[in-house]
Amino acid sequence: MNIDEHATDGLRLELAEGVLGLVLDRPSRRNALTDTVVEALIGVFDAVSTDESVRVVVLSGAGDHFCGGFDIVARNADIDSPRPRVGSIQRRLPSQTHRLIPRLLSVQVPIVALVRGWAAGLGLQLVLAADFAMAADDATFWEPFTQRGFTPDSGATWLLPRRVGELRARDMLLLGRKVTGIEAAEWGLVHRAVPGADLSAAVDELVGQLATGPTVSLGLTKWLLHRSATDDLTTATDNEALALEVSSRSDDFREGLAAFREKRDPRFTGR
């Protein structure tokens, strides 16, 4: 992957040994996203879907916070701009954040979110859309929408109930309840919460396991999980048959069988 092609103001990319690091880089704004950064992220995940050099993606924020959501203050800073036509948000979102979140869910590469500080609004939806989320125990998760007088977006009402249950989702979405990293792990919002000093090491261990795993079968399993959220059993089992056909033709499948026969750990190459 040519990372320079996708880097932009507010987003840094780092690629090494199959691990693509995406760093939200606007620390003075708690890494709040802009239209430019959202578009860049969409481009990155489009590229990742066909780039065999990437075996796992790590999403993090620069400085003390993960992501404070979308920077609506910056978007509305120009008070002299003419008022947009009614329906401008409804027309814009399908090509912006409402395209980004489904892309994270569907791309056949594992995504790990490393969360410090605040993960709010769209920032929280990025966490929910990741395959694994590791958080500092003092991180804060917040859906601020109704506290600001507007309604949830970016898949919040689809993702959050599936992760934490409907009652807890109502607490967060209707009452604006803030959730700590420890609570988030207990609720199933994130996979694990650890002391901040231990977070990087915990993420590195997980990423190392994913980056040396059977990339084809991991990607297909992620696809199966995502599709099964809305498919019936017959469709889900049909998809499983298709995924098994594809994964059984991979080099990693043959390596897995050889390692089993030889009673050793497999050495997967991601192919």
| Domain boundaries 215-262, corresponding CATH code | 1.10.12
Largest Cα–Cα separation, the chain: 71
Q: Where are the domains of the chain?
A: 3-211, 215-262
Per-residue pLDDT, averaged over 169-192, amounts to 97
User: Tens digits of per-residue pLDDT, 74-93?
Assistant: 655 555 667 777 766 766 66
Checking if the pLDDT of 31 tops 70, the result is yes
Question: What is the distance between the alpha carbons of residues 114 and 56, in angstroms, rounded to a whole number?
Answer: 13
Provide the terminal-to-terminal Cα distance of the chain, rounded to the nearest Å: 17
Tens-place pLDDT, residues 224-238: 999 999 999 999 999
Residue 179 pLDDT grade (very low, low, confident, very high; cuts 50, 70, 90): very high
For residues 130 and 186, what is the distance between their CA atoms, to the nearest angstrom? Answer: 17
DSSP-assigned letters across all residues of 213-225: S-HHHHHHHHHHH
Give kind and range of the element (H or E) at residue 88: helix 88-92
pTM equals: 0.92
pLDDT at 76: 53
Domain topology for 3-211: 2-enoyl-CoA Hydratase; Chain A, domain 1 (3.90.226)
Mean pLDDT for 33-48 is: 95
φ/ψ of 213, rounded to 5, equals: -90, 180
Question: Any residues with CB less than 8 A from the CB of 37 and at least 6 apart, and which?
Answer: 8, 9, 10, 11, 24, 26
